Amino acid sequence: MINLYFIGSAGSGKSSLTGAYAGWMENQGYDAITVNLDPGIENAPYVPYVDIREWINLRDIMNEYGVGPNGAQIIAADMLALNINEMKEIIESSESEYVIFDTPGQMELFVLRQSGKVLVDSFGSDNSILGFLFDPIISRTPNGFISLLLQAASIQVRFNTPFISILTKSDLLGQEEKDKIMKWSSDFMELGGAMNMERPTMRTQLSLEFLSALKSSGANQTIIPVSSTYGSGMEDIYNAAQQIFYGGEDLSKD
Ligand SMILES: Nc1nc2c(ncn2[C@@H]2O[C@H](COP(=O)(O)OP(=O)(O)OP(=O)(O)O)[C@@H](O)[C@H]2O)c(=O)[nH]1
Ligand SMILES: [Mg+2]
């Protein structure tokens, strides 16, 4: 069983990608289920096999604890840990080859609070991959891209699991822009050069120093452009996961 977690900032395309990737897997004849971990999800673009909303209801939390929507999200994130065993039982009994997780909109609640890490560890960190989603609009500028790289790095520090970088909504970018971002992701020298084109400021200097630290940590890997709207790039995600766990061999389709 492989667990794939889609993580990214609010609106980066996690839920859409969960739906698109699960749909692609199904079409290919692979055995995959989806798990929704976002109690605040609205109009989910897929039907989750396991849904956190079965156990956690934001409105109930707001009423019970007298908090607003943000406070309720924090309480909900902490409550996640209470439901891990039950979720795990359902997931395991499905005997699926692949489990795709849609994580909460507020990334920091999943990434920084204890329950997210407890969940990933309990479901097995050895067989898990984190797919970090790069928003295409933020990724367009060297500064924005570096900020996302740093977020990605902070997640890698926290979760000790294999990691893939995904550029979502790539249909919103022109080919040239897409190529540029892909180049930046694998070649930090090029990214540093793009930063330098801007007038040198303290901010630029700081980013360049971060880049050099990131490079030595091996964070540079070519980003995978995808579009959930057009279903492109799904096979590349699959191949990246295969590469991590099986060195490129195909999963059995049974
Ligand atoms: N053009 C385009 N739009 C997309 C794509 N994927 C998602 N979107 C749009 O981006 C918005 C956010 O998508 P979601 O999938 O809800 O993103 P999310 O990360 O789950 O959002 P939260 O859970 O609220 O943080 C929606 O309006 C989607 O229709 C894509 O591949 N192309
Ligand atoms: Mg979502």
Residue 235 corresponds to which tokens in the numbers above?
């096979």
167-220 per-position pLDDT tens digit: 999 999 999 999 999 999 999 889 988 887 766 676 777 777 888 877 776 667
Band (233; pLDDT cuts 50, 70, 90):
very high
Least confident of 5-14, 214-223, 233-242: 214-223
Ligand 1 atom at shortest distance from the alpha carbon of 102: 20
If you measure from the C-alpha of residue 135 to the centroid of ligand 1, how many angstroms do you get, rounded to a whole number?
10
pTM here is: 0.94
Is residue 36 lining ligand 1, measured as CB closer than 6 Å?
A: no
Q: Which residues contact 1 (CB under 8 A, 6 or more apart)?
A: 91, 92, 96, 97, 98, 99, 124, 127
Ligand 1 atom at shortest distance from the alpha carbon of 168: 31
pLDDT of residue 253: 46
Q: Which residues contact 16 (CB under 8 A, 6 or more apart)?
A: 45, 168, 228, 229
Q: Give yes or no for a contact between 210 and 150, defined as CB atoms under 8 angstroms apart.
A: yes
Mean pLDDT score, 155-175: 94
| Minimal-distance CA residue to ligand 1 atom 29 | 16
If you measure from the C-alpha of residue 15 to the centroid of ligand 1, how many angstroms do you get, rounded to a whole number?
7
Is residue 162 lining ligand 1, measured as CB closer than 6 Å?
A: no
- Average per-residue pLDDT for the chain: 91
Give 69's strand partners. Answer: none
Percent of the chain with pLDDT over 90: 74
Residue 46 corresponds to which tokens in the numbers above?
């897929």
Ligand 1 atom at shortest distance from the alpha carbon of 104: 23
CA-to-CA distance for 15 and 33, rounded, in angstroms?
14
pLDDT of residue 199: 60
62-116 per-position pLDDT tens digit: 999 999 999 999 999 999 999 999 999 999 999 999 999 999 988 998 998 899 9
If you measure from the C-alpha of residue 233 to the centroid of ligand 1, how many angstroms do you get, rounded to a whole number?
16
Pocket test for ligand 1, best of 12, 14, 16 (most atoms within 8 A of CB): 16
If you measure from the C-alpha of residue 86 to the centroid of ligand 1, how many angstroms do you get, rounded to a whole number?
29
Question: Which ligand has the nearest atom to the CA of 8?
Answer: 1
Q: Which domains occur in the chain, in start order?
A: 2-180+222-246 (3.40.50.300)
| Minimal-distance CA residue to ligand 1 atom 8 | 13
Is residue 97 lining ligand 1, measured as CB closer than 6 Å?
A: no
